[in-house]
Amino acid sequence: MKPFENTKEGAGIVEKMIADVLADNHQFMYVVIGMESTGFYGVHLANYLSTSELLAPFSVRVYCLNPKEVKNYKKSFNDIGKNDGIDSFVIADFARVGRIAVKPWRGSQYLALQRLTRHRMHITECITREKTYMLNNIYLKFSEYALLRNGEHPFSDKYGATAEAILTEYTTNEDIVNSSIEELVEFINSKSKGRIADPEETAKIVQAAARNSYRLDKCLYEPLTVSIASSFNCISSFEKELKAIDKAILQTVQGLNPGEYTVLNSIPGIGKVYSAGILAELGSIKAFQNAS
């Protein structure tokens, strides 16, 4: 057993050591490199060895093994002890007796997809967090509007263009209260591009909410409006990035198992992006020995 650092230089030492041994006595159909899966700490080494040009002539196959399976196999040895050398021996013997059931490392493809799907989740969490934060400011500025529930709310999309216009282009609630219904209807029709079925009823709900809301000192309205507008801009930017990430996910997933991706897509309620996320996290279904 020869220790080495988990660095590019250390990986190079392992690569050369394996190549030197095989160059002297190469009579194998292919060479198996087994390593326990250690999350991110093993990714670079697995990628390095599986794509090594120096090892390519020897048909190297790199396997990242489930530590639990290796641990269970180790129980078949009596009083073997534990250190890095012994653990390496157990992994080598695990491979020698044909206990490896997983597919060779294709981590780069799955990792690429995983980075995208996890970043997508990060963006959706940012959008949710920004909306929650913005609601606090909306309540301060326009309390009754913030309290309207889905059945009572005048807009089907609380964060859409028309809602944004009401909350940012009218600086104070008094501006809404003092507007005529005709002016509000015209404003709503303009901002919604005529998509609201009953703009007059919507205008009445908005005006009633403004009339029943708490009044603030005038010095508060402008800062709250600026803050709300900023939150809308952040949400818009995040949603734009979300579309770009979705496009990248659908392009990346094409390089993986198309059959399994198609099966996941066929399940009601699971769309293309969610199918990609499941595939990125679980890999191939063939990595599992049974249904349970």
Q: What local confidence, expressed as pLDDT, does residue 259 receive? A: 82
In order, the DSSP letters of 32-80 are EEEEE--THHHHHHHHHHHT-TTTGGGTEEEEEE-HHHHHHHHTTSTT-
Q: Is the per-residue pLDDT at 39 higher than 70? A: no
Q: Is the per-residue pLDDT at 287 higher than 70? A: no
- Name the pTM for this structure: 0.71
User: What angle is formed at CA 249 by the lines to CA 245 and CA 254, rounded to 5 degrees?
Assistant: 155
- Greatest mean pLDDT among 6-15, 18-27, 37-46, 123-132 lies in 123-132
Q: What local confidence, expressed as pLDDT, does residue 285 receive? A: 75
Q: Is 27 helix (H, G, I), strand (E, B) or coil?
A: coil
Region 175-186: what's the mean pLDDT? 96
> What does the alpha-carbon distance between residue 91 and residue 23 come to, in Å, rounded to a whole number?
23
Lowest mean pLDDT among 52-56, 169-173, 175-179: 52-56
Q: Is 268 helix (H, G, I), strand (E, B) or coil?
A: coil
Q: Is the per-residue pLDDT at 225 higher than 70? A: yes
Print burial letters for 46-77: b (CB count within 10 Å at least 16), e (below 16).
bbbbbebebbeebebbbbbbeeebbeebbeee
Higher local confidence (pLDDT), 36 or 141: 141
Q: What local confidence, expressed as pLDDT, does residue 36 receive? A: 83
**Mean of pLDDT over the chain:** 88
Q: Is the per-residue pLDDT at 232 higher than 90? A: yes
Higher local confidence (pLDDT), 110 or 257: 110
User: What angle is formed at CA 48 by the lines to CA 47 and CA 53, rounded to 5 degrees?
Assistant: 120
